[in-house]
Amino acid sequence: MDLHFGDSKPTDEERAAVDALLGPPESSWEGADRSDADLRWARGGREARDRRDLLLPGLHAINDRIGWISEGALDYLCRRLTVPPAEAYGVATFYAMFSVKPRPATVLHVCTDLACAAAGASELCAGIEARLGLGSGVSVERSPCLGLCERAPAALAIKAGDPVRTAVSAPATVPDAVLAASAPESAPEEPPAALAVPQAGGDGLILLRRVGVVDPASLDDYRAHGGYTALRRAFELGPAGVIREVTDSGLVGRGGAAFPTGRKWQATASQPDHPHYVVCNADESEPGTFKDRVLMEGDPYALVEAMTIAAYAIGAHKGYVYLRGEYPRALHRLEHALAQARARGLLGDDILGQGYAFDIEIRRGAGAYICGEETALFNSIEGYRGEPRSKPPFPVEKGLFGKPTVENNVETLVNVLPVLTMGAPAYAAIGTAKSTGPKLFCVSGSVDRPGIYELPFGATLGELLERAGVREGLRAVLLGGAAGGFVRADELDIPLTFEGTREAGTTLGSGVVMAFDDTVPLPRLLLRIAEFFRDESCGQCVPCRVGTVRQEEALHRIVERTGAAAADDIALLREVGRAMRDASICGLGQTAWNAVESAIDRLGAYE
């Protein structure tokens, strides 16, 4: 690899930001001043190239410090890591949170997605833009779902510097959001995560039992409330025993695809190729989903313990948490939890004195819904564009760095703790025969008490909405987020199980339950969903790259039309939707038409 660099030089601050992550450069080959020794030895090569996975953290380091990524900064980072500048440019331009053009140090992300739109995001956005125009030092960006749906409308301010400052304003008003953007360091503290859990502290909770009860910063508190009993049990059972318990429990993935967790673990554990990896998918970006954020903010050690168990079961010594870039509080809580666990021997070379070594690294996403797709996530961690890979081979065989990998969602992993503490039979007795265990639901929209609800599988949609205090005039409920489907207000007896929703011709997805009353114009909602998919398509395959654009154009044309005037475009949507579902590479394109189709067929959105 003979790399070519331009003449742009990094500023001292850009250089410092990169060096803070990578350490000072060792030779001119890595961007230091040239010394006599450099003329004799070429450094770099494989050793440097093998650090390609530090490209994304490097881009974050620059963006966090400066607010954007200049040519000089990108070139310097490329020199340090022996990455071709063209490829690094391709990676930097892939993520919505990065900019390769100068912009103000502060960016205010104002959510205009479904729950926030229904809560008046467009007026909020207009108000903020009027106050924070050019010259205000703040760049206002309309953002997809920020995962703060229980407090809609929401805004997130990120002020570059050393250190980078963030502030969340939710529910946001124009003055609050402007304050958060102009002085993030003095903005009021976010309410505790437990406020997103209306059942907090109640009896009978399993997954949420510690949220709002324990101090999320205290490892002692976690242990006093049953923490690390599951890991002890795991060491008693041995790896094969853990996998047997998880398989017998009937636990399936909670991220949306509902794949049996035990089978995934078994398939990875039995791969002869090493090392094995555990990856936690915490890139929660499905509009309307915020359960993983609440778990990580309210009970971060549970995730650390669960990942340790997963690693032990499959023989992995290294784990990654791929955390959504828009979740600053979850990042701080998890970083703190990891440091505490390391200091107390619960991560590291000899966990609980059992001689088992495992550690976890956090990698931040940078604003790309597609990186929640498991193979796109691997590419993102590895320092490539977050484009999905074609399957097969599946991650259990060739995953992160081409090695056997278990990738699980946060909620799935946290479920492993009760599986081990209660035992598989007791866990499997919860819920229904085909959907076992407790499930978290993210309820938002037209309800009095939005938030995360934990119910055993099998409760009906109506029961859930009643708990959340559904308001008068319910028109439709969106299940599973933008990739899910709408159901009517008279279908509230749908049981919230994988099989029950499938039978009803809809999906549970990641557990989003978003209620809309009859004041929300459906065509606008559908247009927002279409805009979301157009913005978030990675662009790799034609059906999704162009199909999502054509879908949005058609929905735009019929936003004010009904009946015969919309019929031609609906027929066109059906044809394009079918090809997207059949021929796209990954789940994004395959599901991009689901919600729109369900709104047309079930709700009669254009009749």
Q: How far is the CB of 381 from another protein (least distance, A)?
A: 18
Among residues 26, 141, 553, 601, which is the contact residue for another protein, using CB under 8 A? Answer: 553
Q: Is 579 in the site for another protein (CB under 8 A)?
A: yes
Place of tokens 């890991």: 231
Which pair of tokens denotes residue 105?
């140090």
Q: Is 537 in the site for another protein (CB under 8 A)?
A: yes
Q: Is 4 in the site for another protein (CB under 8 A)?
A: yes
By three-state DSSP, how is residue 514 classified?
A: strand
**Phi, psi values for residue 317, rounded to 5°:** -115, 0
- Nearest 5°: the CA angle 549, 550, 555 is 100
Q: How far is the CB of 289 from another protein (least distance, A)?
A: 21
Contact at 8 Å (CB) between 400 and 225?
Answer: no
Q: Binding pattern to another protein, positions 69-108, x when CB under 8 A?
A: --x--xx--------xxxxxxx--xx-x---x--------
Q: Which is nearer to another protein, 47 or 448 (CB)?
A: 47
- What is the C-alpha to C-alpha distance for residues 358 and 418, in angstroms, rounded to an integer? 21
Q: Is 534 in the site for another protein (CB under 8 A)?
A: yes
Packing angle of the helix pair 229-249, 300-314 (nearest 10 deg): 60
Q: Is 507 in the site for another protein (CB under 8 A)?
A: no
State the pairing for strand pair 316-323/356-364: parallel
Q: How far is the CB of 296 from another protein (least distance, A)?
A: 26
- CB atoms under 10 Å from CB of 36, counted, come to 6
Among residues 280, 416, 550, 598, which is the contact residue for another protein, using CB under 8 A? Answer: 550
- What is the C-alpha to C-alpha distance for residues 78 and 568, in angstroms, rounded to an integer? 50
Q: Is 545 in the site for another protein (CB under 8 A)?
A: yes
Q: Is 504 in the site for another protein (CB under 8 A)?
A: no
Among residues 285, 405, 408, 584, which is the contact residue for another protein, using CB under 8 A? Answer: 584
- What is the C-alpha to C-alpha distance for residues 280 and 409, in angstroms, rounded to an integer? 6
In the window 33-72, what residues touch another protein (CB under 8 A)?
Answer: 71
Q: Which is nearer to another protein, 70 or 166 (CB)?
A: 70
Q: Binding pattern to another protein, positions 365-384, x when CB under 8 A?
A: ---x----------------
Which pair of tokens denotes residue 333?
């809580």
Q: Is 418 in the site for another protein (CB under 8 A)?
A: no
Name the segment binding another protein (CB under 8 A); options: 226-234, 297-305, 524-532, 582-590: 582-590
Q: How far is the CB of 94 from another protein (least distance, A)?
A: 5
By three-state DSSP, how is residue 383 classified?
A: coil
Would you say the C-alpha torsion 454, 458, 462, 463 has a positive or negative sign? negative
Q: Which residues pair with 156 in a beta bridge?
A: 109, 168
Q: Which residues pair with 377 in a beta bridge?
A: none
In the window 300-319, what residues touch another protein (CB under 8 A)?
Answer: none
Q: How far is the CB of 526 from another protein (least distance, A)?
A: 18
Query: Comparing C-alpha atoms, which of 66, 70, 82 is closest to residue 20?
Result: 66
Q: Which is nearer to another protein, 86 or 224 (CB)?
A: 86
Amino acid at 468: A
In the window 97-156, what residues touch another protein (CB under 8 A)?
Answer: 100
Cα of 391 vs its chain's centroid, Å: 21
Q: How far is the CB of 471 from another protein (least distance, A)?
A: 36
Which pair of tokens denotes residue 513?
């339950």
Query: Comparing C-alpha atoms, which of 402, 599, 410 is closest to residue 487?
Result: 599
Q: Is 549 in the site for another protein (CB under 8 A)?
A: yes
Amino acid at 76: Y
Amino acid at 52: R
Task: Give the chain's length.
Answer: 607
Among residues 123, 390, 402, 518, which is the contact residue for another protein, using CB under 8 A? Answer: 390
Query: Comparing C-alpha atoms, which of 272, 334, 344, 345 is closest to residue 304?
Result: 334
- Tell me, by CB under 8 A, how many residues bind another protein: 51
- What is the C-alpha to C-alpha distance for residues 249 and 235, in angstroms, rounded to an integer? 18
- CB atoms under 10 Å from CB of 545, counted, come to 15
Q: Is 6 in the site for another protein (CB under 8 A)?
A: yes
Q: How far is the CB of 474 from another protein (least distance, A)?
A: 33
Among residues 330, 374, 547, 595, which is the contact residue for another protein, using CB under 8 A? Answer: 547
Name the segment binding another protein (CB under 8 A); options: 161-169, 175-183, 466-474, 536-544: 536-544
Among residues 249, 444, 540, 598, which is the contact residue for another protein, using CB under 8 A? Answer: 540
Q: Which is nearer to another protein, 221 or 535 (CB)?
A: 535
Q: Which is nearer to another protein, 84 or 315 (CB)?
A: 84
Q: How far is the CB of 378 from another protein (least distance, A)?
A: 17
Q: Which is nearer to another protein, 1 or 567 (CB)?
A: 1
Q: How far is the CB of 83 from another protein (least distance, A)?
A: 9
* In 344-373, alpha helices (H): none
- CB atoms under 10 Å from CB of 501, counted, come to 22
Q: Which is nearer to another protein, 236 or 568 (CB)?
A: 568
Contact at 8 Å (CB) between 95 and 368?
Answer: yes
Q: Is 582 in the site for another protein (CB under 8 A)?
A: yes
Q: How far is the CB of 544 from another protein (least distance, A)?
A: 8
Among residues 120, 460, 583, 602, which is the contact residue for another protein, using CB under 8 A? Answer: 583
- Nearest 5°: the CA angle 591, 447, 465 is 70
Q: How far is the CB of 554 from another protein (least distance, A)?
A: 8
- What is the C-alpha to C-alpha distance for residues 409 and 258, in angstroms, rounded to an integer? 11
For another protein, the binding residues (CB under 8 A) are: 1-4, 6, 71, 74-75, 84-90, 93-94, 96, 100, 368, 385, 390, 534-543, 545-550, 553, 557, 572, 575-576, 578-579, 581-585, 590
